[in-house]
A and B are shown apart, each in its own frame.
Chain A
Amino acid sequence: MVFDVQNETLPRDELESLQLARLKYLVQKVYHNVPFYNQKFNEMGIKPERVKSLPDLKNLPFTEKQDLRNNYPFGLFAVPRESVVRVHVSSGTTGKATVVGYTQRDVDNWSRLMARSFEACGVTRADIVHNAYGYGLFTGGLGAHYGAEALGATILPVSGGATKRQVMLMKDFGPTVICCTPSYALHLYETALANGISIDDLKLRVGIFGAEPWTEEMRHDIQNKLRLKALDIYGLSEIMGPGVGIECIAAQNGLHIWEDHFLIEIIDPATGETLPPGEKGELVITTLTKEAQPLIRYRTRDITRINPVPCRCGRTHFRIERITGRSDDMLIIRGVNVFPSQIESILLETQGLSPHYQLIVDRKGSMDILEVQVEVDEKLFSDEIRHLQETEKKIMSHIKEFLGVTAKITLVEPRTIARSEGKAKRIIDKRNLQ
């Protein structure tokens, strides 16, 4: 069913005039309230009143993740700090985190968009939702939580970890809906079997999976094993959190972006040129209704294409294809965003030198494995095993502390990490997610 019939099925012409009205208001607002945008508009000679149509969007500046870092922590707020009721933070090393603020209205909109997303997945107020996204500074847990409450479903705020206890709760409480990363869903399945819980003991019928890349093969695997409909959810904390887009259960083919709140474009990541509908490129999002921290043309770095074909579910909002890659070197490990530059800065802080390193990502069973190989040069080397093992432990605990991800550290001989054209190849991703 449809949570917000009027807005979700708005005819395209009405949807676009709503977008234009909101865009005009937005550019005025950021120009007058956010020094960063004021300066950028002035530098580019853009007057807010010159935005007269949706295609004028392409004249506006992009916003990059680095802009959020440069304005850390509250520099991009468009409202007084007192009006912000919540702050979320994405992972990052100290001083490099990405901060996002929300007014009460932002939180309410988010909850309603998540409720829309749940309902598009066939979830109703009669369902019990097992929410295994992490609660805390990460947007996943609280985003899904407030959405399920806005819908009126019964929410189990399980959060991440303690997998064995999670499968016990699933058996005892009989949740019909599960929200987590796709790899964690498979991990839960394996843990259930290992603890003598059969899939017949569970009542799951819908799974809403996101926060990491996955494939059609994984979807089939999850659906067969857990005997549910597996649906893809899209979101990023900079824009809002989960619920920016959702796959509907009617078509199960691409993710509707809530276009009354988010204006989407596809650009060529190399040139920044806007690409026509249907072409593959980087997704760029402008937040149309955010109060606390609106963003103009935020470069998501996610690679996809827009599918303008009307959907059988009746929603008029365009769909994007499953995300097939990134236009930067960000890795997603068990739902955690990891940039090689973050690992590099941790290595620099740990060792006080710049060793050669390489990240190897693999998937063993259903879990992502991150291995950090570090070349041992003479400064790092010791003739005592325990000193080298202490170094490994120190790097591992720093990565865990700053990035929230467990990595295996392997010391390797110098020059074993392949160099291409004098530059080291930093990432080997063996997961085959294309």
Chain B
Amino acid sequence: MKVEQISIFLENRAGRLADVTRALSEAGVNIRALSLADTSDFGILRLIVTDHEKAKKALKDNGFTVGRTNVVAAEVEDRPGGLHSILSMLSENGINVEYMYAFVQQSGKNAVLIFRFDRTDEAIETLQKHGVRIIPGAELYNI
């Protein structure tokens, strides 16, 4: 039920993001979703890709520090209140969101939310109990 996310440490200077995308492009890896968190000195790029093993190897070969984290992908209806309903059920159960990002699928009906939780298993259980669809990794990589 979990999705593999890779994360990359980036110094805050021109061209570094392009170096990542070049490495992935050359390795033939497609990016499904991404988010960039930054401070004044450095940033963390988080990616969900079609082939995380291949992506990780390509990035490491190019000298990047790469981490991997399990995140949860939840599907939500693309309408006002969609995200709010999910966050409400999580907060009622005392589950903290470390970070999240979202993207809209091409079909346009549903949005995909990527979550990093402090207690991942409990979060999945809570969401499923409320009828939220959790997107399996394999499905997400191949959307």
Contacts and interface: CB of A to CB of B under 8 A. Distances in A.
Interface of A: 376-378, 381-385, 388-389, 410-416
Range class of the B interface residue count: 20 to 34
Nearest to B71: A383
Contact of B63 (A378, A383, A389, A414): A414
A412 B16 CA distance: 12
Contacts of A384: 44, 98-99, 116
Given A383-B7, A383-B116, A384-B98, A413 B41 contact: no
B67 A383 contact: yes
Given A383-B116, A385-B37, A385-B39, A414 B44 contact: no
B50 interface: no
A411 B9 contact: yes
A378 B116 contact: no
Contacts of A385: 37-39, 44
Interface in B115-134: 116
Interface of B: 5, 7, 9-11, 16, 37-39, 41-42, 44, 46, 63-67, 69, 98-99, 116
Interface SS, A side: loop
A381 B39 contact: no
Nearest to A416: B11
A410 B12 CA distance: 11
Nearest to A415: B63
Contacts of B67: 378, 381-383
28 contacts: A378-B65, A378-B66, A378-B67, A381-B7, A381-B67, A383-B44, A383-B69, A383-B116, A384-B44, A384-B99, A385-B37, A385-B38, A385-B39, A385-B44, A388-B42, A388-B44, A389-B39, A410-B41, A411-B9, A412-B11, A412-B42, A413-B10, A413-B11, A413-B63, A413-B64, A413-B65, A414-B63, A414-B65
A91 B84 CA distance: 55
Given A383-B69, A384-B99, A412-B11, 13 more contacts: A378-B66, A381-B65, A383-B5, A384-B98, A384-B116, A385-B38, A389-B39, A413-B16, A413-B63, A414-B63, A414-B64, A414-B65, A416-B11
Given A384-B98, A413-B63, A376 B9 contact: yes
A358 to B, nearest CB: 13
Given A377-B65, A381-B9, A416-B11, A411 B42 contact: yes
Contacts of B69: 383
Contacts of A388: 42, 44
Contacts of A378: 65-67
Contacts of A414: 63-65
Q: Which of A384, A410, A411, A415 has the most CB of B within 10 A?
A: A384
The 8 closest A-B pairs by CB, nearest first: A383-B7, A376-B9, A381-B67, A383-B69, A381-B65, A385-B37, A376-B65, A413-B11
A82 to B, nearest CB: 53
Nearest to A413: B11
Contacts of B11: 412-413, 416
A216 B5 CA distance: 57
Nearest to B63: A415
Nearest to A409: B41
A283 B44 CA distance: 49
A377 B66 CA distance: 8
Contacts of B116: 383-384
Contacts of B44: 383-385, 388
Contacts of B5: 383
